[in-house]
Amino acid sequence: MIKTAEFIKSAVSISDLPSDDLSHYLLLGRSNVGKSSLINAVTNRKSLARVSQTPGKTITLNLYLLNQSFYLVDAPGYGYAKRSKTQAKSFVTMIRNYINQNQKLKKVILLIDFNIGPTIDDLSLYSELIHFDIPLIIVATKYDKLKSSLRLKQQKVLTEKFITDQKIYFTSSETKYGIEKFIAEVFENE
Ligand code: GDP
């Protein structure tokens, strides 16, 4: 259970990250996937993370301290039409450096919109992430949005596209479906 959550800072570079020894969990997902809503649902706060913020130009990592014991690290949503190729490249470079240089990173959590299914951007980031020696968790968001008759089929699509030794989680920030299980299992060592 998440008892406390506070926004710590927006880090503009790797050297700007906190120097303590607390664990990091990195959240990745394209813009509009429901990342802010998931942070709010996990922390049981209405607006800890801003929902539907307009994409800024600066690439920052937003750090939230949960239960005074670990950081949830929110990376900017990728795949903005507005973002240039150069920006997209610097996003991938920053994430790559962050993963490579951060001994405190325990898991990478990639969000996929369950209703829309994996996009080209999602699959391209996924193919980068599997090369790192770090547990990769897939979270399918907006579970409530898909008709129940289509859910099994869509679950199958995801299990075929994302080959991971970790579980795929199905969540809804709207109904809170799957949120407790996600917290209990993904942050089990915290
Ligand atoms: P972000 O850009 O990834 O941070 O996405 P947001 O959290 O801002 O969500 C984008 C849109 O999807 C908003 O209109 C949310 O209200 C909506 N949304 C997010 N999560 C859910 C969910 O679980 N169910 C439904 N029905 N809508 C959601």
Question: pLDDT digit string (tens) for 1-17?
Answer: 999 999 999 888 888 99
Average pLDDT, the chain: 90
Percent of the chain with pLDDT over 70: 93
Residue that has been written with the tokens 């490579």 in this structure: 100
Domain 5-186 architecture:
3-Layer(aba) Sandwich (3.40)
- Among protein residues, the one with the nearest Cα to ligand 1's atom 17 is 34
Averaged pLDDT for residues 88-92: 79
Q: How many residues does the chain have?
A: 190
CA of 19 to the centre of ligand 1 (A): 32
pLDDT band at 90 (very low <50, low <70, confident <90, very high): confident
Ligand 1: list residues with CB < 6 Å.
29, 31-37, 51-52, 77, 141-142, 144-145, 172-174
pTM listed for this prediction = 0.94
Query: 88 CB contacts (<8 Å, ≥6 apart)?
Result: 78
Residue having the nearest C-alpha atom to atom 9 of ligand 1: 34
84: CB partners within 8 A, 6+ apart: none
CA dihedral 68, 23, 190, 48 (to 10 degrees): 50
In the chain, domain spans:
5-186
* For residue 123, pLDDT beyond 70: yes
CA–CA gap between residue 100 and residue 127 (Å, rounded): 16
Q: Which atom of ligand 1 is nearest to the CA of 33?
A: 3
